[in-house]
Amino acid sequence: MTTFVSPEAQVAAVESLIRRITPAVAERFELRIIAPENGADVFEIDARDGRVRLSGSGGVALASAFHWYLKYCCEAHVSWSGVQLDLPDPLPATPGPIRKVSPHRYRYYLNFCTFSYSMPWWTWERWERELDWMALHGINLPLAAIGHEAVLIGALGALGLNEEEVRTWLAGPAYRAWGLMGNIDSWGGPVSRAWVDAQCALQQRIVKRMRELGMQPVFPGFAGHVPEALRRVFPHAGILQLPGWYGYPGVHFLDPRDPLFKVLAREIVEQQRRLYGPGEFYATDLLHELEMPEGGHFDLKAAAQGILEGMRAANPEAIWVMQSWSLRPDVLRELPANQVLVLDLFCDSEPKWTQTDAFHGKPWLWCMLHNFGGRTGMSGRLDRIASDLPNALRHPKRGDLRGIGIAPEGIEQNPVIYDFMAEMAWRTESPDLAGWITRYTRRRYGGDAAEARKCWEILARTVYRGPTAYGPVESVICARPSTNVQRVSSNGSRKRYYDPAELREAWRLLYQCRDCFARRETYRYDLVDLGRQVLAESAEPLYAAAIQAWKRADGAALREAANRFLQLIDDLDDLLATNEHFLLGKWVSAARAAAPTEEERALFEWNARTQVTLWSSPEIPEFHDYANKQWSGLLKSFYRGRWERFFQALEKSVASPGSFDEPGFRKELLAWEEEWARRRTEHPDRPVGDCIEVTGRLIEKHGGAVDPAR
């Protein structure tokens, strides 16, 4: 795998990373490049006399060595939700050299969706922290999708389209992922040239740093999605309108068998090279989540060959990176093995390598998807990762397994899952999971406390031992109100696989550690997150009590249950308001700040508000609440607003429950949701209140089992 920068540049980049993370002791680390072991990445750690020598086969290996030393020698911790970096002085010695060899040539990261659910408003400052996180966690093959709008404007402009035709075709920032994957046109746009240029400049900094750290960027590829306006310039080209995606109008598709396809594909790769430097890996999918054109009689094999030839026309070394998510067998079967790389995207729940003869012998990666829609909720499958990934490495029918991947739709949640999965990049066997969790607890909080250990023992056997599921168990609070709520999002579930009483006990145990860990941002985040989980689940019996009271025409009981339900939302909002990671205002403020003009500020705020609520238009129910979030501000202003209106409507019909016009209410509520998404109201973008004080109050109020009759 080509890195494009010198070993000296990679050493310098990791030295800078160490200065950013541990500036007080950075001079105590010595770095050097060593040879790979039989082509595999390797690192060594040798610490003595207060100095630490880190050796690695490249920048990522060196950063991984630094991280391993922090974790296992200093019991320190780095995560999205805070760091714990109280390092011993002097720095601890190692009992002897520590050497780790990665069994995984490729360690992939990100999902197109991540760029919309988590990253649409990121500045360079936030991206720099993420690039550090990637290097520390062993990532050497990250998706680099920022700034592709400039590539498309340049490439389509070279074929005769004017800039406005391309910009009005592009999706807005919160929806760019589905534009890149070829599912939608224009939704959330149009974007301005100023925004396109700013994203281009940001991408140039991102890929420069990736290469300096020894990573190889994966650029968006081209699978045929084009503006309808291309027909104006090429009226005889094979441009089809595809069947619509979940209710959106069908996009236009340039048949890969058409000679124009190779011309445009070459132009896209050349524009990428001009703007962002050389590449080798290109991620795209043929007809991602789309029905085939031509009544299903489309030649997938020929189209797939056309896509690969288009990539390699401009770059003979191009490798097509494709997802297994909606991969059709005919796309892959006859492609050359040395020119493709398959991401088995959902191995943590639904592996496809076992169903496809390991993708017919093509190189593939064992990936964890984990999160859908960036939804909040404690969930994950630590036990499955611990067992299934090592088993795949040993399996006689594993085929050409080249590595692992972390491909969530949204990040900045459930840090324990990502810490464990990334660490497996340097292991062939899983560590003892119970022992690993104990050490994780110590390094996350910077100390040992029996209550914290017991808390995490509970979490490891409950929320982090989930069944096959599309993300966390969802709370009825985030559901569109109904007399029969089945689920919140289209692929979510409200079915619990653990006892909520155990989580209440875990919350109390963690709160008991406050005198030890109150100043730790990691502890404060976990205290809020666990409290969020407990309170969100407490809504279930109150909802059930309200509906039962309505059905038996008991107005007093309905009002009691409804008032307690709404008060619970207020309490949950108050708790989340104490932590910066759970604020609607932070998301909305970042969207406004990303916009170069006042007009675009309104558009970007609409992007931000709509994505986490309706997602799409009222007429497309498939995505409503798909990206639901338990955030302060969103709870009080949106979810509470919906439920308050619902309970008021139920009360009006309590004397005759059959008179409740639920379809009519839903229509009125959708109109209200649309109006909410267009608002420009302010929400706090900084924490309010103290999580320790609020937690103590809420544990006293909600710490026991919820009795709807109380």
CA distance 375 to 471: 7
Helix (H, G, I), strand (E, B) or coil at 84: strand
DSSP conformation class of 623: G
CA distance 427 to 445: 24
Q: Is the bond into 90 cis (omega within 30 degrees of 0)?
A: yes
Q: Which residue type, as a one-letter code, is found at position 56?
A: G
pLDDT at 4: 80
Number of residues written out for the chain: 710
Structural contact between residues 107 and 139, judged by C-beta atoms closer than 8 angstroms = yes
CA distance 403 to 343: 9
CA distance 416 to 189: 36
Residue-wise DSSP of 128-183: HHHHHHHHHTT--EEB--TTHHHHHHHHHHHTT--HHHHHTTSPPGGGHHHHHTTS
* Helix (H), strand (E) at residue 6: none
Nearest to 303 by CA among 322, 316, 275, 277: 322
pLDDT at 119: 98
Q: In angstroms, what is the C-alpha Rg of the chain? A: 26
Angle (deg, nearest 10), helices 691-702 and 500-511: 140
Angle (deg, nearest 10), helices 300-314 and 259-276: 40
pLDDT at 2: 73
Structural contact between residues 398 and 435, judged by C-beta atoms closer than 8 angstroms = no
- pTM for this predicted structure: 0.97
CA distance 628 to 519: 30
pLDDT at 658: 85
Helix (H, G, I), strand (E, B) or coil at 476: helix
Helix (H, G, I), strand (E, B) or coil at 127: helix
3-state secondary structure 654-670: CCCHHHCCHHHHHHHHH
| CA dist list (Å): 643 to 97, 128, 225, 542, 563 | 60, 40, 40, 12, 10
pLDDT at 443: 98
Average pLDDT for consecutive 10-residue bins of the chain (710 residues)? Answer: 87 98 98 97 97 98 98 98 97 97 98 98 98 98 98 98 97 98 97 98 98 98 98 96 95 96 97 97 96 83 95 95 93 94 96 95 97 96 96 97 98 98 97 97 97 98 86 94 95 93 97 97 98 97 97 96 98 98 98 94 98 96 96 98 98 90 96 97 97 97 66
CA distance 582 to 396: 45
pLDDT at 292: 86
pLDDT at 302: 94
| Cβ neighbours of residue 80 closer than 8 Å, sequence gap 6 or more | 133, 411, 412, 413, 415, 418, 581
| CA dist list (Å): 352 to 304, 340, 359, 393, 639 | 20, 16, 8, 15, 37
Q: Which residue has the tokens 């209440």?
A: 504
pLDDT at 466: 86
Nearest to 134 by CA among 185, 192, 207, 240: 207
CA angle (400, 404, 407) in 5-degree steps: 125
Query: Which residues does residue 403 pair with via DSSP β-bridges, in sequence order?
Result: 106, 365
pLDDT at 708: 63
DSSP conformation class of 363: -
pLDDT at 123: 98
